[in-house]
Structure 1
Amino acid sequence: MSITKLNPLKSKIFNFFTSSFENSKGIEEIKNLPRDSNIKVLISRPNHRLGNQLLLSPLIQEVKNQFPNCKIHLVVNGNLSPILFSEFHFIDTIIKLPKKPLKNILNYTAKSIGLMSNKYDVAIAGNENSNSSKIFIKLSRAKFKIYNSGNIDSYKPEHIAKKPIYNLMKLLIAPNELRDYNYPKLSIKLTNEEIEKGKLLLRKLFGNNKNTICIFTFATGAKCHSKEWWSTFYTQLKNEFNDFNILEILPIENVSQINFESKHFYSKDLREISSVIENSSIFIGADSGMMHLAASTNTTTLGLFNGSNYNVYAPYGNENQSIDTNSVQIDEIIEKIKKLTL
């Protein structure tokens, strides 16, 4: 039997194990931490996926906002975080666990033991439903361990990037202040030089100064819209926006649901891709890591959702929006794009 087939059983075992994890006793004392002290904060999200790592950026920003002189340590899988967070200079250490732990068990174990040798003032699970996130918080030597928000109340957001912020802020401010809390949006913190590079790349691709619409036609599994859907959408987009450049951002797999009919851009440099998106008028794409990368820029992001998780993963902040394509017709999407590009 393959390891993959054992994953459901493994999840059930770990779910049972981590369901008993509770915030530290005396967690309410966290509000007595001096806000200007040099505290050490551990954020745990051992996952290698692009979207899941970008979804940590609001929490990272909020921790910095609340404790300006803090030093943040991240626990992640793989090598993306040093790229994505290269301009987050207050991140002191990124603990990069192997992308495939079971194939690199000695490295994984050594880094896990190394993590446990550090003392932290605060440790926060980057995803309260992630067993690995919670296990590393449990193993950490932290005074205050935050797994969740305790009792659920009406102010708790559904969005996966907002939940760990809520879990922290519920301990630091009055409950009524969370009613309309201004959660930080996803961010990759592009430099001025990177933004200028993206502008030059667009100019080189199209040879004009027209505004650009970026589309991303790929997604994994059921999140991916059919070639027929994208063909219809792309045809209408071209007809309605003939005074715009249309650029397809290609995935690492170098595939296209519109058979490469549009001008396209391929790069393995995530910051270069985001610099191109930054210089565009709007990004339109399905629920994917690339959608979250777009939402990390200042460009309006329109997420196309093909089913569930609409409120959990939708791009938020600025004019970012999402659409359930099961209930909204392409004509309506085109009209929404017109309003967002005025």
Structure 2
Amino acid sequence: MPRKGIYRILVCRPNHRLGNTILLTPLIAELERLYKGVEIDILSEGDIAEEVFSTFFSVKNIYCLPKRGFKRPVSFLATLFRVRKVQYDLIVDPCLGSGFARAVTGFLKGRFKLGFSDKPADSKLTHPVPTEAARQHMAQRPINLLRWARQHYAGVVDDATDYPSLDIRLTDTELAQGRAVIEQLSPASQRTTTSPVVGIFGNATGAKRYPAEWWNEFITTFKEMCPASSLIELIPMHGRSMLGDQWPGYYSTDIRRMGAVMAGMDLFITADCGVMHLAVASRVPTVGMFSVTDASVYEPYGCGSRALLTKGLSARETAMQIVRDYATVLGQAGPVDAKPATATTPRAEGINAPGELGQLGLTH
């Protein structure tokens, strides 16, 4: 891999999930840093990537394969052959264990093809990187991919202590519009600079979702401890409140509008899901609550965000923990309550600790 001469890059990530798409934003930031003046194309699935990367100046083309593409073979193949016409300097397959992404990478044209593989001869890559270099966090694996390759193939040692954060790069106009929505939704009595605005998203997939009774106990405890806080519910895509319509709600099918509204909040609380990643990428301090999935793979980081492991905790204990951890944000002075037994993922010793691989989760 040359240190210079990389101008056209394709990131091959054919996936339609919101979280997995947003987890690509640090990779784009790292490519921009390493290859000044580069033009980046993205191969995705569905139309989410078009919204997520719409304000990225370096991103030129976003090729969107149809979801369940084999049921729409004409559109699927037309998109693939359109991308294949382009000769890229570098194609990056950031996935760990995706046979589909690797097959697509092998089909497309690139001088250099970079990805994870422990079987170089069968990898369809010009520059394979061993999977042990991936490490744990999903958003940081592609960064480690690039840094390992540059060190071993180009002799360049990059700073391994810092990682770009998730960021969908909301514009000033979007941020202003989000603040206006917050103003409209907040009760008149709490429209002051001292009343914290707390967003809650009560939905998630499968076992990651907390039941309505859990949320009722959580919010009752939270409001007892922070009566001045203004709660706003982010309504899921299906258009129904998960909290019984007890609080002002904001609904949008537009990802960036959702992000702009969340960016106007002081704190956002959610289970592990794609909206959690969207909140982090909107630069709002985010508490991601984990009950079944591996927090070290998906935990929010940066901008005061953190993961909270709730297995073994009651809803009341979870609320107490969050209020204590974010006492300054929530305007609480002094001790909030007795500390419940809990566990949170350590920031410095977790995703950024060199050499710690753990179990590599592959999906989200």
TM-score under structure 1 length normalisation: 0.85
Which deviations, in whole Å up to 9, do the C-alpha atoms of 1:280-300 show, x marking residues without a partner? Answer: 111110111111100101210
What does residue 216 of structure 2 align with? 231
Indicate if the aligned counterparts of 2:6 and 2:89 stay in contact, CA closer than 8 A.
no
Indicate if the aligned counterparts of 2:150 and 2:156 stay in contact, CA closer than 8 A.
no
What does residue 357 of structure 2 align with? none
What does residue 95 of structure 1 align with? 63
Q: Which of residues 300, 322, 326 in structure 2 aligns to 1:337?
A: 326
Distance 1:176 1:41, change over 3 A: closer
* Structure 1 residue 81 corresponds to structure 2 residue 66: no
The within-5 A match list for 1:249-268 is 249-268=234-253
Helix, strand or coil: the match of 1:213? strand
* Structure 1 residue 157 corresponds to structure 2 residue 135: yes
CA distance in 2, matches of 1:184, 1:204: 33
Helix, strand or coil: the match of 1:181? coil
Helix, strand or coil: the match of 2:175? helix
Which amino acid in 1 is paired with 2:90?
Answer: V
Which deviations, in whole Å up to 9, do the C-alpha atoms of 1:99-136 show, x marking residues without a partner? Answer: 12122111101111222221111111132222222222
* Greater per-residue helix proportion: 1
Equivalences, count = 309
Which amino acid in 1 is paired with 2:326?
Answer: I
CA distance in 1, matches of 2:85, 2:150: 27
CA distance in 1, matches of 2:159, 2:309: 26
What does residue 70 of structure 1 align with? 38
CA distance in 1, matches of 2:24, 2:265: 24
What does residue 323 of structure 1 align with? 308
Question: Which moved further from structure 2: 170-179 or 285-294?
Answer: 170-179
Question: Which moved further from structure 2: 142-151 or 105-114?
Answer: 142-151
Distance 1:212 1:76, change over 3 A: same
* Structure 1 residue 195 corresponds to structure 2 residue 175: yes
Indicate if the aligned counterparts of 1:77 and 1:99 stay in contact, CA closer than 8 A.
yes
Q: Which of residues 42, 53, 61 in structure 1 aligns to 2:29?
A: 61
CA distance in 2, matches of 1:82, 1:221: 27
Indicate if the aligned counterparts of 1:215 and 1:283 stay in contact, CA closer than 8 A.
yes
Identity of aligned residues (%): 28
Runs of 4+ in 1 over 6 A off after TM superposition: none
CA distance in 2, matches of 1:194, 1:284: 21
Indicate if the aligned counterparts of 1:128 and 1:134 stay in contact, CA closer than 8 A.
no
Which deviations, in whole Å up to 9, do the C-alpha atoms of 1:58-110 show, x marking residues without a partner? Answer: 10111011011111110001111121111102111111110121221111011
What does residue 163 of structure 2 align with? 183
CA distance in 1, matches of 2:321, 2:157: 36
What does residue 23 of structure 1 align with? none
Which structure 1 segments of 5+ residues have no match? 1-29
Which deviations, in whole Å up to 9, do the C-alpha atoms of 1:260-304 show, x marking residues without a partner? Answer: 211111111211111111111111101111111001012101101
CA distance in 2, matches of 1:110, 1:261: 48
